Chains A and B, each alone.
Chain A
Amino acid sequence: MVQRAVISGIYATPAGKLPGSTCMSLHAQAALGALVDAGLSLDDVDGVLCAYSFTEPHQMLSSIFAEYIGLQPNYSASISAGGATACLMVMTAKALVENGTCRHILLATGDNRLTGMPPGGAVAALAHFGHRQFEVPYGMTVPACYALVAQRYMHEYGLTRDQLSAVSVTQRRQAGLHPGAQFKNPITVEEVSTSRLIASPLRLLDCAPVSDGGAAVLVSAAEEVAQGSRAVPILGAGQKHTHEHIMAAPSLTRFGCRQSSATAFEQAGVTPQEIDVAEIYDSFTITLLVELESIGFFPKGQAGQAAASGELGLGGRLPCNTHGGLLSYGHPGPAGGMYHIVEAVTQLRGEAAGRQVKDARLAFVHGDGGILSAHCSLVLGK
């Protein structure tokens, strides 16, 4: 019999400047927090998954973490797929539980890339996502690559400047309802639309910040979790990978999230219309809008309008990134994607306080890595 996988514990540190933190201390804080949340201890853990780090880069990060926290797991691996990593960790853990390899797997992420790197260090490091011979020599950056998508999207679908800005405004309002968010002060469409140009058409407030932070989840076999616990089943998961470099993307308006989400929805036996709350990767405002359309939550060319009319906010048709997302909660690398998962579980447990989506029973989570290259989708629910 296939063992069902559940998310049995979650923890997110605040994001922003966390002086005194290290990559590994953030991993440990988040991991121990998730174990306390699950009512379990390190002795219960038989598997460890980690992601990657800018401040303590190492090819065996999960081994470093296990050693740091004093764990000798039976299964340990590091996963590196950019912004898709956190979802990919959950999908991998789900498979490891379902095939009986592990009973309790700790998924830990964290990085202090705001205080632990020189100014501009994260931007320079991210430029290495580009092709060394055919992109990097042209002065590319990750924001510039997403700007290439945004420019084409505006050209083909008439997406407007103020519609992009509405994404930032809505998420900032929601971040104001979360004590851990890096940016809580409200912003206006005009402030976003006139903020400093980074790579046209993208401006400063279209871009996720650089943050310190950590987040962890515990994935367990359902039968290992006490009856009546707050554990949330992982109902479906899917991936699609279409390219890495933006110059090799098959399309600049249709992306692999269509297939990854279709797989996840099919496995869960639900449709996009049944989703109560969505936590979708938002490295830039354009990222969220193109993914909402590729996934099928909105018809082509209509996500911008939905953002402008408040449909992506609390009380709207599809509340998105209810913790503020990468844009306003913060973006410490792989932990940024893990924040989306922690928030989805928090919503499904009904513990999101002032930002709670009423009667949230089904959540969709999506991560994208590279330049809309690597896609992983999850459906979580009761």
Chain B
Amino acid sequence: MRPKPVPIANADTRPFWEACNRNELIYQHCLSCGKAQFYPRALCAVCGAGTLEWRISKGLGTVHTFTINYRPPDDTFASDVPYIISLVDMDEGFRMMLNIQECPPEAVRIGMRIRVIFESREGQKIPQGTPSTKIYSSKTKSFPSQKG
């Protein structure tokens, strides 16, 4: 089966994707206007300055909105349905699209706290979200914690 899409870095985004492979979520901070920026660009989209520095995010954020997706774009996501797609507002002031993993679809809520984890795809790690507090599905017969 074809693999899921893997991001292909360019000059704007290479530091970001290299950081992901070190399990670090980084974002751009504008030294001129002080705004956080995501996705990475060659300049600040707020003030136009080129004075961007990379900072490491704590990887914590809040669900701004979400959808539980039942109709995949193609067969590479077919075995995942239903899966959660969310826009997450990171505490440092930028917004990302993430899947919310290790979370039963019925448990996701606007305002839910999220921490970033990394999923490996074909040698590239990509950021994903998971509830910052572990949620156990009512459909799970035994709590995973019982396994140690």
| Chain A interface residues (CB < 8 Å from chain B) | 120, 123-124, 127, 131-141, 143-144, 147-152, 155, 196-202, 246-248, 252
A138 to B98, CA, bound (A): 6
Chain B residues whose C-beta falls within 8 Å of the C-beta of A200 in the assembled complex: 67-70
Which stretch (B28-36, B54-62, B72-80, B139-147) binds chain A?
Answer: B72-80
Q: Does B136 contact A (CB under 8 A)?
A: no
Q: Are A252 and B64 in contact (CB under 8 A)?
A: yes
Summed over the interface, the residue pairs from A and B with CB atoms below 8 Å come to a total of: 110
Q: Are B66 and A148 in contact (CB under 8 A)?
A: yes
Chain B residues whose C-beta falls within 8 Å of the C-beta of A133 in the assembled complex: 7-10, 13, 17, 39
With contacts A141-B73, A144-B69 taken as known, whether A132 is within 8 angstroms of B7 at the C-beta atoms is yes
With contacts A144-B67, A148-B66 taken as known, whether A134 is within 8 angstroms of B97 at the C-beta atoms is yes
Q: Are A140 and B73 in contact (CB under 8 A)?
A: yes
Encoded as 1 (CB less than 8 Å from any A CB) or 0, chain B from 84 to 123 comes to 0111000000011111000000000010000000000100
**21 cross-chain CB contacts under 8 A:** A120-B74, A127-B74, A131-B97, A132-B8, A133-B8, A133-B10, A133-B13, A133-B17, A135-B97, A139-B80, A139-B83, A139-B99, A140-B73, A141-B69, A147-B69, A148-B85, A151-B66, A155-B65, A198-B70, A200-B68, A252-B64
Q: Are B71 and A123 in contact (CB under 8 A)?
A: yes
The 10 closest A-B pairs by CB, nearest first: A147-B67, A127-B73, A152-B65, A133-B7, A139-B77, A200-B68, A199-B67, A199-B69, A198-B71, A148-B65
Neighbour of B73 across the interface among A123, A131, A196, A247, CB < 8 A: A123
Chain A residues whose C-beta falls within 8 Å of the C-beta of B97 in the assembled complex: 131, 134-135, 138, 140, 246-247
A152 to B64, CA, bound (A): 7
With contacts A152-B65, A197-B70, A252-B65 taken as known, whether A139 is within 8 angstroms of B39 at the C-beta atoms is no
Cβ-closest chain B residue relative to A200: B68
Q: Does B148 contact A (CB under 8 A)?
A: no
A138 to B119, CA, bound (A): 11
A248 to B95, CA, bound (A): 8
Can you add 12 more A-B contacts, CB < 8 Å, to A137-B121, A148-B86? A133-B9, A133-B39, A134-B97, A148-B67, A148-B85, A148-B87, A151-B110, A152-B110, A155-B65, A199-B69, A247-B38, A247-B96
Chain B residues whose C-beta falls within 8 Å of the C-beta of A140 in the assembled complex: 73, 85, 97
Q: Does B42 contact A (CB under 8 A)?
A: no
Cβ-closest chain A residue relative to B81: A139
Chain A residues whose C-beta falls within 8 Å of the C-beta of B74 in the assembled complex: 120, 124, 127
With contacts A127-B74, A133-B13 taken as known, whether A139 is within 8 angstroms of B67 at the C-beta atoms is no
Interface size on B, residues (CB 8 A): 38
Q: Are B96 and A144 in contact (CB under 8 A)?
A: no
Q: Does B126 contact A (CB under 8 A)?
A: yes
A141 to B97, CA, bound (A): 12
Q: Are A149 and B65 in contact (CB under 8 A)?
A: yes
Q: Does B6 contact A (CB under 8 A)?
A: yes
With contacts A124-B73, A148-B85, A198-B70 taken as known, whether A139 is within 8 angstroms of B4 at the C-beta atoms is yes
A127 to B73, CA, bound (A): 6
Cβ-closest chain B residue relative to A126: B73
A87 to B76, CA, bound (A): 35
Cβ-closest chain A residue relative to B86: A148
CB distance from A297 to the nearest CB of B (A): 24
**B32-51 with Cβ < 8 A to chain A:** 38-39
A141 to B80, CA, bound (A): 14
A199 to B70, CA, bound (A): 6
A248 to B70, CA, bound (A): 24
Chain A residues whose C-beta falls within 8 Å of the C-beta of B67 in the assembled complex: 144, 147-148, 150-151, 199-202
Q: Are A131 and B110 in contact (CB under 8 A)?
A: no
CB distance from A337 to the nearest CB of B (A): 23
Neighbour of A137 across the interface among B7, B69, B80, CB < 8 A: B7
CB distance from A67 to the nearest CB of B (A): 33
CB distance from B49 to the nearest CB of A (A): 18
Q: Are B5 and A137 in contact (CB under 8 A)?
A: yes
A149 to B96, CA, bound (A): 15
Q: Are B85 and A144 in contact (CB under 8 A)?
A: yes
CB distance from B73 to the nearest CB of A (A): 4
Chain A residues whose C-beta falls within 8 Å of the C-beta of B83 in the assembled complex: 139
Chain B residues whose C-beta falls within 8 Å of the C-beta of A135 in the assembled complex: 97
Q: Are A247 and B72 in contact (CB under 8 A)?
A: no
Cβ-closest chain B residue relative to A131: B39
CB distance from A86 to the nearest CB of B (A): 25
Encoded as 1 (CB less than 8 Å from any A CB) or 0, chain B from 1 to 19 comes to 0001111111001000100
Q: Are A247 and B65 in contact (CB under 8 A)?
A: no
A144 to B70, CA, bound (A): 9
Chain A residues whose C-beta falls within 8 Å of the C-beta of B76 in the assembled complex: 139
Q: Are B13 and A199 in contact (CB under 8 A)?
A: no
CB distance from A93 to the nearest CB of B (A): 32
Q: Are B5 and A136 in contact (CB under 8 A)?
A: yes
